[in-house]
A = this chain, B = another copy of it.
């Protein structure tokens, strides 16, 4: 398998990304890591770290999409950016997975422009994992791709999250919950009220009803579905809470599992390829785990299984 990594993406790129590639190399036996970006910069960082540059393949690019750039404009106007080229390679099958800690919006737009959405999927979703207090993990989606969603889109997120939980995290018959503000069916905003009956009737996943904010770390469900506005606020709030525990010197295995470095990144589900977006502040450890997650997505044949489910 050839795994593409955008070495220009992230606040500490290319140093953090190239060092992350070294870490990934150590555990990626038999797979080839393709570094996409400024080859000279990469080789020089590798040499400084006494690492043989021949262990990687390279696709040299000359442009970089900045973290603050407008996604669509940037992807169109910078065809030789590491993100644009990465997606070109993914589309052509020259790499089987692509990940970047760069501009999330550009990654989403790039995916939709190049490998495109899987037929039948209304909107792709960005997912994240959430640790459970009792151990193990859950999946939350969407965390930012779609600020406004229709009920049918949320139902599809249930399918995507369920397949992800099953195939990548080996969770059997994943329990899917709708993020809401009450347990009863009639509770919630108009979106949830319209979504609940659709989820209750579906045979596409194992719907277990509404979940509330307090249930996110519980073992009541494995997949939590919400629109991207709600999910993004939850994600950033949880992250800030984790940061607060660290600032206060509180260390605990549960809170440590909030650490984005551990889970590496957020897959974009619903597009025709294994695509993972990393946190902007990714360090080498996070980059390594992002690469490994993209590999897991390929090995679990998740994209094929999603395609099948929507046929």
**A residues lining the B interface (CB < 8 Å):** 133, 144, 147-148, 179, 181, 188-190, 192, 212-218, 227-230, 232-241, 243-245, 247-248, 250, 252, 254-255
Contacts and interface: CB of A to CB of B under 8 A. Distances in A.
Contacts of A215: 240
Given A189-B147, A189-B148, A238-B237, A244 B217 contact: yes
Given A238-B241, A248-B254, 11 more contacts: A181-B229, A181-B233, A212-B233, A213-B235, A216-B237, A217-B241, A217-B244, A229-B230, A237-B237, A237-B238, A250-B252
Nearest to A105: B182
A179 B237 CA distance: 11
Nearest to A149: B189
Listed residue (A179, A233, A243) with the most chain B CB atoms within 10 angstroms of its CB: A233
Listed residue (A190, A237, A244) with the most chain B CB atoms within 10 angstroms of its CB: A237
A289 B242 CA distance: 29
Contacts of A216: 237, 240
A215 B241 CA distance: 10
A138 to B, nearest CB: 13
A234 B213 contact: yes
Give the top 5 A-B pairs by smallest Cβ distance, nearest first.
A213-B236, A213-B237, A147-B189, A214-B240, A181-B232
Nearest to A247: B133
Contacts of A244: 133, 217, 254-255
A295 B212 CA distance: 31
A231 to B, nearest CB: 9
A298 to B, nearest CB: 30
A73 to B, nearest CB: 13
Contact of A147 (B181, B232, B239): B181
Contacts of A214: 236-237, 239-240, 243
A255 B215 CA distance: 19
Contacts of A192: 147, 229
Contact of A188 (B147, B237, B245): B147
Contacts of A179: 233
Contacts of A218: 240
A192 B192 CA distance: 18
B237 A234 contact: yes
A296 B229 CA distance: 35
B229 A213 contact: no
B252 A189 contact: no
A181 B189 CA distance: 19
29 contacts: A133-B244, A144-B181, A147-B181, A147-B192, A148-B189, A148-B190, A179-B233, A181-B228, A181-B229, A181-B232, A189-B227, A212-B236, A213-B237, A214-B239, A214-B243, A215-B240, A216-B237, A230-B230, A230-B233, A234-B234, A234-B237, A237-B237, A241-B241, A244-B254, A245-B245, A245-B250, A248-B250, A250-B250, A250-B252
Contacts of A238: 213, 237, 241
